[in-house]
Chains A and B, each alone.
Chain A
Amino acid sequence: MNIAVETVDLRREALPSASEAGPAPKRIIVAYGFWIFLLSDIVMFAALFAAYAVLVQATAGGPSGAQLFSQVNVAIETACLLASSYTCGLMSLAVRSRRRVGFYLGAVVTFALGAAFLGLEINEFAGMIDRGATPQTSAFLSAFFTLVGCHGLHVAVGLIWLVVMMAQVAVKGFRPTVERRLLCFSLFWHALDIIWVGLFTVVYLMGVHP
């Protein structure tokens, strides 16, 4: 009897440390691995940012940023992406408490706002190319289309991913595998918004300001 009481007390007082507790749950391992991927993605964006910052004056007689960029368009794009980041957060709350309706609502609104962002960006690119500001025109425009286009490509991939996740929740329900993928998706979507903060500041706001 005495021995049993003592072991219970021991367990309560000395929890094993993280290294003694054995392998971490898969949710932590998967999310941490995806976190590392996102950070390396951000490092890639840093290289594109550096190229843009070096080449921003190299307009080669073509149009400069101040002549091309529309502040209103960028403000709407920023609002769309920020709001979609917020609804993505609400969506992940619904996933945690396994509310299907809340999940679908959050996912649909997030998708709509992300699609609106992408539509505005494609529209902006088309307008620039119509005015002769193509990626071939100058080093500045090459760097601009690479940097902003790469972010837009990430948003497009995120939208496809979101549709796939909606289908997986519909077919498979909130299984642990689906929940891990949803956690990775929300990490991805929030990271894209963080990159956009740097992007609209460096490219659009600093570009328009003399």
Chain B
Amino acid sequence: MTETQYDRAPGDRPVLADEGTSSGVLVYTTGLFLALILTATSFWAANTSLLWAPGTHLGLAVLAIAQMGVHLVFFLHITTGPDNTNNVLALAFGVLIVFLVVAGSLWIMADLNDSMMPPAQPMNMPMHH
């Protein structure tokens, strides 16, 4: 009774009074199957020639983010419940920093690369970055 007023520890699943361990196994098994389906789709999409090639990278990124979501929900038991607000807020801040670091680095380096002067004629070195 008093447990409910505290936040929930990340990784802890809410344990209802009348449930056995079988429902916990069911949650993990559901997560495993969803993750397997998403992984198999990723490997198929990377190796097939049926899909529009320029869209493959975007599709792979979407599949990876979906699978990360599956892991967070079914393995780490992150929910939207009020006892999980702190965990979700910390996660949201982490995701923000990850996005800023990755997207910012790619943007800045691509921009630098574009505005680099072409190499002088005598030194015919391939300059990638």
- A interface list, Cβ under 8 A from B: 15-18, 21, 24-25, 27-28, 30-32, 34-36, 39-40, 42-43, 46-47, 49-51, 53-55, 57-61, 71, 75, 78-79, 82-83, 85-86, 89-90, 92-93, 96-97, 139, 183, 186-187, 190-191, 193-194, 197-198, 200-202, 205-206, 208-210
- Which of A16, A75, A197, A209 has the most C-beta atoms of chain B within 10 angstroms of its own C-beta? A197
Beta-carbon contact of B60 and A206 below 8 Å? yes
Q: How far is the CB of B105 from chain A (nearest CB, A)?
A: 4
Q: A89-B28, A96-B21, A201-B63 are in contact. List 13 more A-B contacts (CB 8 A).
A: A15-B4, A32-B10, A32-B87, A39-B90, A39-B94, A46-B101, A47-B101, A82-B39, A93-B28, A190-B11, A197-B71, A201-B42, A205-B60
Choose from B31, B56, B129 the contact partner of A58 (Cβ within 8 Å): B129
Beta-carbon contact of B71 and A75 below 8 Å? no
Q: Which residues of A contact B56 (CB under 8 A)?
A: 209
Q: How far is the CB of A105 from chain B (nearest CB, A)?
A: 13
Q: A36 and B90 in contact (CB under 8 A), knowing A28-B8, A60-B128, A61-B126?
A: yes
Q: Please, which residue of chain A has its CB at the minimum distance from the CB of B75?
A: A190
Choose from B46, B53, B75, B87 the contact partner of A193 (Cβ within 8 Å): B75
Beta-carbon contact of A205 and B28 below 8 Å? no
B-side interface size class: 35 or more
Q: How far is the CB of B56 from chain A (nearest CB, A)?
A: 5
Beta-carbon contact of B94 and A53 below 8 Å? no
Choose from B39, B68, B97 the contact partner of A194 (Cβ within 8 Å): B68
Q: Sort A-B residue pairs by CB-CB distance and give the 7 closest, nearest first.
A: A31-B9, A39-B94, A50-B105, A201-B64, A205-B46, A89-B28, A46-B98
Beta-carbon contact of B102 and A28 below 8 Å? no
Choose from A49, A55, A183 the contact partner of B102 (Cβ within 8 Å): A49
Is the CB of B43 closer than 8 A to any CB of chain A? yes
Q: How far is the CA of A43 from the CA of B24 in the complex (A)?
A: 30
Chain B interface SS verdict (over half): helix
Beta-carbon contact of B42 and A43 below 8 Å? no
Beta-carbon contact of A82 and B36 below 8 Å? yes
Q: A197 and B75 in contact (CB under 8 A), knowing A32-B10, A51-B105, A205-B43?
A: no
Q: Which residues of A contact B71 (CB under 8 A)?
A: 85, 190, 193-194, 197
Q: Please, which residue of chain B has its CB at the minimum distance from the CB of A55?
A: B129
